[in-house]
Structure 1
Amino acid sequence: MKDSIHKYFQIGTIQWMSHPPADYEVLESIKTICCDEYFDVLEVTQMKDEAVRENAKKMLEQAHMRVCYGAQPRLLGTGLNPNDINEENRLKAEKTLLEAVDEAEYLGAKGIAFLAGKWEEKTKEEAYVQLKKTTKRVCDYAAEKGMAVELEVFDYDMDKAALIGPAPYAAKFAADMRCMCNNFGLIVDLSHFPTTYESSKFVIQTLRPYITHFHIGNAVVKKGCEAYGDQHPRFGYPESANDTEQLLEFFKVLKEEGFLSKEQPYVLSFEVKPWKGEDGDLVLAGTKRVINRAWALLDD
């Protein structure tokens, strides 16, 4: 494409993935990313320290960054399950998501994202009803603040084993939610397509009416290989599924399906992380190179 990718997408990265909290101080990470003009968006998550949260808000405002809020760590890090068939436990998950809406609003985000919880075959239908209940409550609360709610589609049997996807099941859930809530949408992630055994074309065409946000990244789906599962290694990682060729195909499908919008650009964020001693900034730089090459190869 002759036009810059920034004409059609707001490019972001996921802070806690690019700079894992065990190795990077959150405010230093935010400043580093905010000072990089390649990024229009920063996706952040829970900040328990009030002073950290206040300083992060100031930096994001000064850098003129669009803010997105991921509540996934609030669930994954605690084991809370928004589709838990135990009602008391479901309400605990609902509570942290409602708190996430408040924190997101404070930080300047216009919504939150989360994921479904684990499931079992014998209680799958019950879990589906529970997830609808949680999502409806969170959507209603977010709507009072003019905010949106997005569910990220994950694998169902490989790593996260979330209730939602695969894509057809995600489409069913999204259709049910849209009947009740017009502020609900889906996040699709290129790195999850190999983990659900689906292609870019299939996922995007299946979920076309409901997609509101994109992530891109990589995965290793060969059993026994390093970084197997939903680990988001860098593009081109050994034995991994995605590199420039797969990202180009992803861009082709987005173009064909009408997702290139200069008037209302979608968020397109990196979801890659350094693996075992790798440098997060080098991984970010490599991701930009893959994106720039794939975009350059996309036909006008």
Structure 2
Amino acid sequence: MIVDAPLKRYMRPGIVHFKAYPVESGTGPIIETLVKLAEDAFFAVVEVGWMKDPRVRDEARHILEQSHLEVAYAMQPALFSQKLSLCALDPQAHRKAVNQAKNCIREACQLGARWVRLPSGKDPGPEKREAAKKILVETILELREFAKDFGDPLLTLKVFDRSVDKEALVGPAQDALDVAQAVRRHYPEFGLVVDLSHFPLLRESPEEVIPQLRDYLVHAHIGNCYIKNRCHAAYGDLQPRFGFPGSEIDVQEVRQFFRLLLDQGFLNPETRPVVSAEVRPLVLGERSELIVANAKRVFEEAWALA
């Protein structure tokens, strides 16, 4: 066993709402599904996304306040669905992405979010990569100034894959490190979010990357991916349930990740960082409630066995 202490002594377990109950479009049964997660005392944090209707956001805010859940807001649903990139080289495309990001920060404020997750946007290729990283750094700092008037949430940059699915600038560990170092010079609280499911997609190992990014790591996601067959419906960065046949992540991999994060001092009783499950029903017959139960079991089993 890792330590003779409950999981919650070392982390605040969370769940990504819009994946567990797919409402990434910003519409659908947002309130009904949010209530289900808010009623589950296992989770200390819920990660929400785009909610197009202000009345829905208002009702969601009251639910979150009543349940004593901490809130993170993810920009991915709004940005990905509109093919927007915060590192776009074209000025018009970049400004459109920044404007949407600012709208997301307004929504996050309305929902009482403590953290806001940003994706970098698309990788433009090796010849233009340094220019894109410079634009991304400037964009994060612009959004940081904007966010000061909207609850001043902590901005975090989530690391995605480069070549399989999201084709993101950030991206491989070195690019994540370059951006984090540049932003930290002006914004010391800024940090990165890594996802266990993205290491296979990036062809990197947690054992190599986590020590490299440790000083900039603020939160972690634990998801799953499938990369064995390009023709499979689950191929790519689609976050299937843990243990999905042929997939990359199950109890053993989560156990090893917990152990690594403990050894690196990331999981600790003082700061108890957010570690969120990011999985969803993906194929015919899968139910959200069972996927959520699966994630909780995997967290608890991995912690007990590590």
Secondary structure in 2 aligned to 1:270?
strand
Matched with 2:152 is 146
Question: What is the rounded CA distance, in whole Å, between the counterparts of 1:113 and 1:103 in structure 2?
Answer: 13
Matched with 1:124 is 129
Comparing 220-229 with 107-116, greater Cα deviation is found at 220-229
Matched with 2:259 is 252
Contact 1:66–1:109 (CA<8 Å) still a contact in 2? yes
Question: What is the rounded CA distance, in whole Å, between the counterparts of 1:282 and 1:42 in structure 2?
Answer: 17
Contact 2:239–2:278 (CA<8 Å) still a contact in 1? yes
Question: What is the rounded CA distance, in whole Å, between the counterparts of 2:141 and 2:93 in structure 1?
Answer: 17
Matches within 5 A, 1:1-300: 1-21=3-23, 25-121=29-125, 122-144=127-149, 145-224=151-230, 225-277=232-284, 278-298=286-306
Contact 2:180–2:191 (CA<8 Å) still a contact in 1? yes
Q: Which amino acid aligns with 1:252?
A: R
Secondary structure in 1 aligned to 2:219?
strand
Q: Which amino acid aligns with 2:191?
A: G
Q: 1:198, CA displacement in angstroms?
A: 1.2
Question: What is the rounded CA distance, in whole Å, between the counterparts of 1:96 and 1:136 in structure 2?
Answer: 16
**Identity of counterpart residues, as a percentage?**
37
Which consecutive unaligned segments of at least 5 residues does structure 1 have? none
**Pairwise CA RMSD:** 1.5
In structure 2, the CA distance between the partners of 1:183 and 1:100, relative to structure 1 (3 Å rule), is farther
Deviations 1:143-200 (Å, cap 9, x if unpaired)?
A: 4543211010000111000000111210111001101212311000001111011112
Question: What is the rounded CA distance, in whole Å, between the counterparts of 1:199 and 1:24 in structure 2?
Answer: 37
Question: What is the rounded CA distance, in whole Å, between the counterparts of 2:267 and 2:168 in structure 1?
Answer: 29
Deviations 1:253-289 (Å, cap 9, x if unpaired)?
A: 0110001222221011110010123101101111111
Secondary structure in 2 aligned to 1:204?
helix
Deviations 1:67-119 (Å, cap 9, x if unpaired)?
A: 11111111101111111111111011111111212211121112310101112
Question: What is the rounded CA distance, in whole Å, between the counterparts of 2:237 and 2:292 in structure 1?
Answer: 18
Question: What is the rounded CA distance, in whole Å, between the counterparts of 1:27 and 1:74 in structure 2?
Answer: 18
Q: 1:24, CA displacement in angstroms?
A: 5.9
Which consecutive unaligned segments of at least 5 residues does structure 2 have? none
Contact 1:2–1:296 (CA<8 Å) still a contact in 2? no
When normalised by structure 2's length, the TM-score is 0.94
Question: What is the rounded CA distance, in whole Å, between the counterparts of 2:116 and 2:137 in structure 1?
Answer: 16
Q: Which amino acid aligns with 1:254?
A: L
In structure 2, the CA distance between the partners of 1:98 and 1:24, relative to structure 1 (3 Å rule), is closer
